[in-house]
Amino acid sequence: MPMIRKVLIATRGEVALRIIRTCREMGIRTVAVCSTAEREALHVRLADESVCIGPPPIAESYLNVPRLLGAAETTGADAIHPGYGLLSESAAFAEVCHNCGITFIGPTLRNLRLMGNKGKAREVVSRAGVPVLPGIPRKISDAREALRAASGVGFPVLIKAASGAGGRGLRVVREPSEFLDAYETARADVRAAFGDEHLIVERYCTDARHVEFQILADTDGNAVHLGERECTIQRRFEKVLEESPCGAMTPALRAEMGEAAIKAAAAVNYANVGTVEFLLDAKGRYYFIEMSARIQVEHPVTEMVTGVDVVKEQIQLADGQPLAIHQEDVRLRGHAIECRIYAEDPVTFERSYGTVARYHPPGGSGVRVESALQVNDPVSPHSDPLLAKVIAHAETRPAAIAKMRVALREMVLDGLPSNLDLHRQILADPDFVEGRVTSSFLSRFGGRP
C-alpha cells in the first residue's frame, strides 16, 4: 500500500493524463493544475481535483513555484509529479518540495544537482569507466578561451549548455571561423532559457546514432535497465521518432552498453527513473552524452516491449519502495515505434498555431495514442507543441512499421499544420525501412535538422 495518497501533477497535456491513469490504478488521488487558458483541458477534467495557478504564460503558471506549492497545500497533496520538461529537472524545485514535506516524484536532490551540471556528470561517469567524447568539461565563459579549447579537441565540435536540457544552446561548429559567432549565440540562448550562460565543448560525432537506456534504481543501490531506445531521428536536437529495440544493436553490445548505463547511474548513486543517453558510431563505439533525471517523452516504446509501467515504477521508487525487478526479469518482446506529432510546418519545422478543427486518433490492436487533444482546442504560443504520440507495437520491426503506416493513415488532425505527413514520408523512406539512419537523416526532408 503506497504511503503517497494524493499527487499534484505539475504539468499538462498528454503526460498529465498518463500520470492520472497510473495513479488511479494505484488508488492514488490526483490534483491537476492549469492556466486560465486551460480550464477545460482534458487533464483538468479527468483529475480528481484541479487548481488554476495563473495566466497562460508558463512562467506565471506552470513554472510558478509558490503557486504550485500553494495548490499542493490547499488540496492536501503529499507528493508532486513534475512530468517531463518544465520543473522536472529543477534541483531548486525539488529542494523546496523537500523543505515543505512534499515528496518529489523523481530522483534525489543530489542526483538533480549533479546531472544538471553536464561537465561534472561527464567527469564522474568517465571516472567510472564509461566512455565519453574528447572535450572540455569545465564551464567556459570567455569565447576566445573556448575557441582555443575547441581547437585542442578538434573540429567539428558541439557547443552545449553546462546546465539545462531540451536542446537549448546546442550548436554544431565545423570550422574555427564559425566558432565565435556560434558560441555567442548559444550563450545568449542558454542565458535566456536557464539563467546560466556557461557552456561546455566536446567533439561532435558525425552521423552517429542516438541510443538511450532506461534505468530504474532504488535507494539501496539496486538498478536495472529496460533495454534501449533508438532516438536518432531528430531535428534541432529534438526527437521526432523513437524505436525499441535499436536496429544496430546486438545482444553483446546491448549487454555492454546496458552495463555502462548502470555504471553511470551507480557512479552518482542514482535513485528513481532515469535515462542514460549515448552516441553510437558506425564502428560500434559508444559515448556517454548525458543522463536525463526524469521520465522521458518516449518512455511508451519501452513499456510496450517490456510490459513495465515506467510511471508506476517511478511513483513506487519515490515512495521509498524497493525495486522489485531484477535484470534477468527484463525481456524485450517485439518492436515498438513512436511518432511524435508536433504543431509545426512539416517542411521548415517552424512552430504552427491554430485551432483543432477535426481530430480522430487511430486505434486497433497494438496501437496506443497518448494525447490530451480535443476538437476546438486552441494551439497558441503558450501551448505545448507536442499534440500527440502514436505508438505501434508488433512482433517484428517490419510489422511495426506496417502497423504505424496504417495508424497514421487513419489519423485525422485538421485546423493547423502538423508533421503528420512528415512521419508518413519517414515510414516510406527506403533507408528508414532498412534501418539505415543516422543523425543527418532528416536533412533530406527540408528544414534545418
CATH of residue 54 = 3.40.50.20
337 and 222, same domain (yes or no): yes
C-alpha cell at 273: 527513473
Name the grid cell of 395: 512482433
Domain assignment present for 117: no
Q: Are 212 and 229 in contact (CB under 8 A)?
A: yes
Decide: pTM greater than 0.75: yes
Domain coverage including residue 388: 209-445
The pLDDT, as a whole number, for residue 167 is 64
- Domain presence at residue 1: no
Tens of pLDDT, residue by residue over 260-277, are: 999 999 999 999 999 999
Q: Nearest-5° angle of CA 73, CA 77, CA 78?
A: 105
Q: Per-residue pLDDT tens for 297-334?
A: 999 999 999 999 999 999 999 999 999 999 999 999 99
Mean pLDDT of 336-357: 93
Grid cell of 239 as nine digits: 526527437
pLDDT of residue 37 exceeding 80: yes
Strand partners, 279: 210, 287
Clarify whether residues 175 and 65 are in a common domain.
Answer: no
How would you class 59 by CB atoms within 10 Å of its CB: exposed for 0-12, middle for 13-18, buried for 19 or more? Answer: exposed
For residue 139, the model assigns a pLDDT of 66
List the grid coordinates of 156.
Answer: 567539428
Give yes or no: residues 278 and 427 share one domain. yes
Question: What's the domain count of the chain?
Answer: 3
Grouping H, G, I as helix, E, B as strand and the rest as coil, residue 340 is: strand
Per-residue pLDDT of 42-93, as tens digits, reads: 999 999 999 999 999 999 999 999 999 999 999 999 999 999 999 999 999 9
220 and 196 in one domain?
Answer: no
308 and 440, same structural domain?
yes
Judge if 288 and 168 occupy the same domain: no
Which three-class secondary structure state does DSSP give residue 356?
A: coil
Same domain membership, residue 289 and residue 392: yes
Same domain, 416 and 269: yes
Confirm whether 110 is domain-assigned. no
Residue 236: per-residue pLDDT: 81
Q: Sorting pLDDT into bands at 50, 70 and 90, what band is 126?
A: very high
Residues 40, 172 share a domain: no
Tens-place pLDDT, residues 149-201: 889 889 999 988 877 665 667 889 999 999 999 988 988 887 876 667 778 88
Q: 254, 294, 340, 368: which one is catalytic?
A: 294
123 in a structural domain: no
Are 42 and 10 members of one domain? yes
Residues 266, 199 share a domain? no
Average pLDDT for 420-449: 88
Residue 6 in contact with residue 71, Cβ under 8 Å?
no
Cell reading at 68: 504550485
443: confidence class by pLDDT, cuts 50, 70, 90:
confident
- Amino acid letter for position 433: V
Residue finishing a domain among 89, 105, 121: 105
- Annotation marks residue 127 as catalytic: no
Q: What strands, in cross-sheet order, belong to the sheet with 199-203?
A: 135-140, 199-203, 157-161, 171-173
CATH number, domain with residue 162: 3.30.1490.20
pLDDT-derived band at 449 (thresholds 50, 70, 90) equals very low
Rg (CA), the chain: 21
Answer yes or no: do 397 and 255 share one domain.
yes
